[in-house]
Homo-oligomer: A and B are copies of this chain.
């Protein structure tokens, strides 16, 4: 037991996957070299950003999921991206959007449980020019990343 499982999970969260050319070729009845050519093109044009796995997050200790709606302080209005960019690098954050309306920032955050989430909020979301947050926590996820659960 060398904990290969957790290494795999963290690798699959944002890469280490690849298209199944032969299977696609069979499915749409085209030569596999043609499929290969077209996929490489999409990759070169950066239409495809990554190949990754989607998990049953309850089973990998990321079952607690919340949406965080943020208002940022007026002195950050000129450049909301400064705050946002800093958030991007955290593994617990699934998505970061700069938005219109009452909330300038919407985050989707995953953690093991409420405790871990609370620790995360304290250390990451506080300070940083965020003046008000509303947490909407997910009771049940029926679809994530386009994958029904």
A contact residues vs B (CB 8 Å cutoff): 2, 4-5, 7-9, 11-14, 16-20, 23-24, 27-28, 30, 34-35, 38-39, 41-42, 45-56, 59-60, 65, 67, 69, 81, 84-85, 87-89, 91, 93-103, 106, 134, 136-149
Contact at B56–A53, with CB atoms within 8 Å? Answer: no
Q: 21 A-B pairs, CB-CB below 8 angstroms?
A: A4-B30, A8-B24, A16-B19, A17-B18, A18-B18, A18-B19, A47-B59, A49-B54, A51-B51, A88-B142, A91-B146, A94-B143, A94-B145, A95-B141, A96-B141, A96-B143, A98-B142, A99-B137, A99-B138, A102-B136, A145-B145
Number of identical monomers bound together in the oligomeric complex: 2
